[in-house]
Amino acid sequence: KAGVTQTPRYLIKTRGQQVTLSCSPISGHRSVSWYQQTPGQGLQFLFEYFSETQRNKGNFPGRFSGRQFSNSRSEMNVSTLELGDSALYLCASSPRRDSDTQYFGPGTRLTVL
C-alpha cells in the first residue's frame, strides 16, 4: 500500500506570496492532519480534516487554511507568507478519527525569502 504522499517536496517563496501544499493520504484513510515543524517550536498541530470538514484547529493565524476533497486528498494554503513560515509541513493520515495510529508523509520543505 502506498504511503502518504506530499507535493511538492521543496518550495521557495518570497514574503507576501501565498502557497498551496498538497497531501494524498493512504488509500482508505479518511482523516488528514497537518503539522508544522520548525527547529524553534518543534512539531505543532495545524488542523485536522475528516469527511471534508475541519474537525480540529491548532493555534495558528487565519493565514493558514486548509480543505479536504471528497477523495480525502487535502490541501493547505498559507497566504501573505512571512519569514517565520519557513518550516517543514507534514501531513498525516489515519483511517478514522478514533484510530490510534497516524502515518506521516515526508513533508514539504517551505523556505520563505
Stretch that binds another protein, among 14-22, 60-68, 72-80, 90-98 (CB under 8 A): 90-98
Out of 19, 81, 107, 112, point to the residue binding another protein (CB under 8 A): 107
Interface with another protein, residue 28, by CB under 8 A: no
- Considering only 12-20, 63-71, 77-85, 86-94, which stretch makes contact with another protein by CB under 8 A? 86-94
Question: What's the maximum distance between 2 C-alpha atoms anywhere in the chain?
Answer: 39
Q: Pick the binder of another protein from 8, 61, 84, 106 (CB under 8 A).
A: 106
Q: Residue numbers of the site for another protein (CB under 8 A)?
A: 4, 31, 33, 35, 42-45, 48, 50, 55-56, 58, 90, 92, 94, 97-107
